[in-house]
Amino acid sequence: MRQAGRFLPAYKKIREKHEVLAICKDPELCAKVTSLPVEILGVDAAIMFADIMLPLEGMGVKLSIEEGVGPLIQEPITSYKSVQALENLDAAADVPYVLEAIRLTKKMLDGRAPLIGFSGAPFTLSSYLIEGRPTRDFAKVKSLMYREPKTWHALMKKLSDSMSRYLQAQIDAGVDAVQLFDSWVGCLSPQDYRNYVLPYSQQIFKNLTDAAVPRIHFGTNTSNFLEDMRRAGGDVFSIDWRIPIDAAWRRLGYDVAVQGNLDPAAMLADVEVLKSFAADVLGRVKGRVGHIFNLGHGMLPDTSAEVVAELVKFVHESTRSSGLR
C-alpha cells in the first residue's frame, strides 16, 4: 500500500522539494524513501516507492500526479487507434530507474526486511487511461467496455503483456515478492469481472508462474467475486474491511495466504479502539500460518506516524506472545 506516502514526517519533508514521480526517477532518493517505513515504523516488509502510473509513462502516456487528486492523463484513450499508439513496455529501456532503485534498496535494506515490487492490474490502469482522472462511477470505462469490446480487449491485452514484463524485470532485479494492484475492480459486477477482466489478470499470473517469488493479488470491494479473483491467480489475496477476514479466507481456501484487513480509518480512532480492531482481525485468523497483517487499503493522509508505530508494536507483541513470529 501507499505506506510511506502522506503521513511520515520524514517523507513529507522530502516531498516538499520533490514530486512523487521525481522521487521515483532518482534511484538513490527512491531507495531511501522505500526504506523509511522499515527504519521508522518497524514494519516487516518494504514496498518499492513507485506508482502504478510509472510504467505507463514508459509506454508513451503523458501524465502527472496531482496532490490530493491522483493521476491525470493528458490524452485519455478513446479509440482503437489510441490503443494501437501505446508502445509495448521494454522495462530495461523504458523504466531503468525502477530496476536500479530495486538493486539499491536491496543493498540498503541488507536483509533486514523483504522488498515488494508491484504493478497496477490491467483494469485499474485502464480506468485511469480511459477516464483520464480518478472517477466515482467508471462511466467512460464501462461505456467503452460495452460499446467497443474490440478496443477494450486490445487495451487489456497490451496492458497485461506489458505489466507481465514489468513485474518479471522487477523480479530479475531482486524483489522478494510482487503485488498486482487492482484497486478499483470492485466497481464491476461478477459477470463483468469474469468477461472483461479475469482473463487478463490471469495471463499475468500465468506468465509469472515460474517466478520463484510470492505473488500478491490486491483488490478492494471484491467480496462479491472473491472466488473469481482466486481463479485469476495469485498466492496471497488482499482482503478489505468490508468482509470479515475469516469468512473471506474460508471462501478462498486455506491453500492460499491472505493479507488484511484493518480499515485504514481505524487509525484515526483512539489507540485503545484501534487495538481492539486489530485484535479482532488477529482473533479471526487465530494464528493460522499464511496471514499477513495489513490494512484493507492505503493509509489515510491524516494518520499519525506515532499511532502507526504503536499498531506495529501491538501486532508484533500479540503475535509474539502466542508464539507466532
In this complex, which beta carbon is closest to ligand CP3, that of residue 31 or of residue 155? 31
* Binding piece for ligand CP3, criterion CB under 6 A, among 63-71, 156-164, 236-244, 256-264: 63-71
Among 41, 43, 47, 101, binds ligand CP3 (CB under 6 A): 47
In this complex, which beta carbon is closest to ligand CP3, that of residue 305 or of residue 324? 305
| 210 sits near ligand CP3 (criterion: CB under 6 A) | no
The yes-or-no answer on residue 250 being catalytic is no
- Cβ–Cβ under 8 Å, residues 261 and 281: yes
Residues touching ligand CP3, count (CB under 6 A): 23
* Binding piece for ligand CP3, criterion CB under 6 A, among 60-68, 227-235, 264-272, 285-293: 60-68
| 181 sits near ligand CP3 (criterion: CB under 6 A) | yes
* Binding piece for ligand CP3, criterion CB under 6 A, among 4-12, 97-105, 224-232, 237-245: 4-12
Q: How far is the CB of 140 from ligand CP3 (least distance, A)?
A: 17
The yes-or-no answer on residue 6 being catalytic is yes
The yes-or-no answer on residue 128 being catalytic is yes
Residue for grid cell 462511466:
139
Q: Of 318, 123, 88, 109, nearest to 219 (Cα)?
A: 123
| 127 sits near ligand CP3 (criterion: CB under 6 A) | no
Q: Which residue is nearest to ligand CP3 (CB)?
A: 5
Give the contact letters, 93-122, x = binds to ligand CP3 (CB under 6 A), - = no.
Answer: -------------------------x----
| 257 sits near ligand CP3 (criterion: CB under 6 A) | no
* Binding piece for ligand CP3, criterion CB under 6 A, among 62-70, 100-108, 163-171, 238-246: 62-70
Q: How far is the CB of 205 from ligand CP3 (least distance, A)?
A: 17
* Beta-bridge mates of residue 72: 64
The yes-or-no answer on residue 231 being catalytic is no
Alpha carbon distances (Å) from 285 to 15, 115, 197, 298, 318: 37, 24, 29, 21, 13
Binding site for ligand CP3 (CB under 6 A): 1-6, 15, 20, 47, 49-52, 65, 67-68, 70-71, 118, 124, 181, 183, 298
Active-site annotation, residues: 2, 6, 15, 51, 128
